[in-house]
Amino acid sequence: MQVVVITGGSDGIGAEIARQLAARHRADVALVLAARNPEQLAAVARECEELGAQALAVPTDVSVREQCQQLIAAAVGRFGTIDILINNAGRSAHALFEDVADLGWYEDLMRVNLWGSVWCTQAALPYLKAARGRIVAVSSLAGLVGVPGRTAYSATKFAMAGFFEALRAELKGAGVSVTVAYPGVVATRIRHRGFNAAGQALGESLLKEEGAMTAAQAARLIIDGMQQRRREVVMTTKGKLGRFIKLVAPGLVERMALAALKKDARPR
């Protein structure tokens, strides 16, 4: 039985990863689900148990270091080990930098998107090394290409990608794989709940979402990449193309990034 810890497991991609792992592996997987909403978290855990998996819901705010440590302790206390850590918890943000008066929420966003992953990984690392396990970091295409209006979000996701790229090299000899996933626009509510310029919930998405990938599709790609111990999972053709074009024609990539925004969200 493999023990899998999933942060951000109450909704969106994280909940879909949990359900798909439960459906695929049933009694051969134990899922430790972490998120801030205890009711939603418990509901996802029940769904996974109905599919035959074991599940443990641990209400967790990953922006608090002690809660990250308690999450890992709860997983080990219940199941004795950790085979896979999926750092999926994250928050979105969309605001033009010149419109931001108080940068305090930039720090809050970094604590969730970067430090939450770092703290969970540090606590889980001895068990992952003992199991020759897997680490997954769910970044974003905004962690490969800077997107206008997303200075805070891109900063956190670039930082996350850099941390896990370096960690991958450090852990190569220990047999622990590190997969960094780069979703594009996925049909979840993450952008609606993200920060606006005033540090409040945005309430809408300022990205064009026509043709957005479903959470189920994104989860499937992440699971496949994790199981194959792939270094990276860049999920869209546009993302793969943009990454290449950035090297040879960066101005074109900037125009592509601007075109992804709704007109009223573009820089003035």
Positions annotated as catalytic residues are 153
**Angle at alpha carbon of residue 262, lines to 108 and 181, rounded to 5°:** 50
Three-state SS string over 161-195 comes to HHHHHHHHHHHHHHCCEEEEEECCCECCCHHHHCE
131 in Cβ contact with 82 (< 8 Å): yes
108 in Cβ contact with 63 (< 8 Å): yes
Helices (H), the chain: 12-25, 38-50, 65-79, 104-110, 116-131, 151-171, 190-193, 215-227, 237-248, 250-259
Structure tokens at 100: 């931001």
Burial 75-104 (b: 16+ CB within 10 A, else e): bbeebebbbbbbbbbbbbbbbeeeebeeee
Pairing of β 29-35 and β 84-87: unpaired
Pairing of β 84-87 and β 232-234: unpaired
Closest by CA to 147, choosing from 107, 96, 199, 187, is 96
CA 160/CA 65 separation, integer angstroms: 16
Collapse the DSSP code of 88 into the 3-class scheme (helix H, G, I; strand E, B; otherwise coil) and give the result: coil
